[in-house]
Amino acid sequence: MSHSMATDPFTAASSAILKALQSCSAFAAIVRPGNLIDMTAGSFERFKGQLQASDTPEVVLLPEAFELQPFGGNSRVASLSQSYQLVATHESLRVTPVNALKYAAMAALLRAGPDLGLGGLVRSWEIRQGRDDAFGQPQWRRATQRWVSVMSIVVHMELDRSVILSTQP
C-alpha cells in the first residue's frame, strides 16, 4: 500500500468526503460553508440547539457502522468498511431543494472518483439506504417540522496489517 496516512483511516475517509462536497460548486451553491458541519474539526464541540432559516440546509457527516475483516483480501491486508450518515436538515417542506442537494452530493462524490482521492486506502464507496423524512427524525427536528435527508455513504478500505500493528498503544 502506497498511501501514507497522516491520521486514522476513518478520519481520512470522512475528510475526503467533506472535501469532495466542499469542492463541488453545485453543492456549495446550496449549502453555505458554515452549514457543512465537520465533526472532525478541532473547533467542533456541539450542534446548535435551534436552527434558524439561515442555518439551513445544514449538512452533517456522522460516522455510523464500522466493519473489520482483520484477515481480508490477502495475507497482508485488513479490509474495513466505515459507513457515514450524510444528514441534511432543510427549512422548507418543499421536496425540490431536498432533491437538488441529494443530486449535488452524488455528483460531488462521483467527481472524487472510486477512491475518494485517497489512493491505496479506499478500495470503493457506495451510497446505501438513502431516505427522506418530511417530519424530520426527532434528533434532527429541533423544535419544528423539517425535511431531513439521510444517505449512508459506505467506504470500503484496505490497510496493510503492518501499518495497524506498528501503531503504538
Distances (CA, A) of 23 to 17, 20, 67: 10, 5, 29
pTM of structure: 0.81
Distance CA 61, CA 152 (A): 9
Q: What is the pLDDT along the chain (169 residues), one digit of tens a residue?
A: 334 455 789 999 999 999 999 999 999 998 887 788 776 655 555 555 555 556 667 888 888 889 988 886 677 888 999 999 888 877 766 678 878 888 999 999 999 999 999 988 999 999 987 776 666 556 555 445 566 777 889 999 998 888 888 876 6
- Domain edges within the chain: 9-165
* CATH level 3 topology of 9-165: STM4215-like (3.30.2000)
Find, among 24, 71, 67, 73, the residue nearest to 154 by Cα. Answer: 67
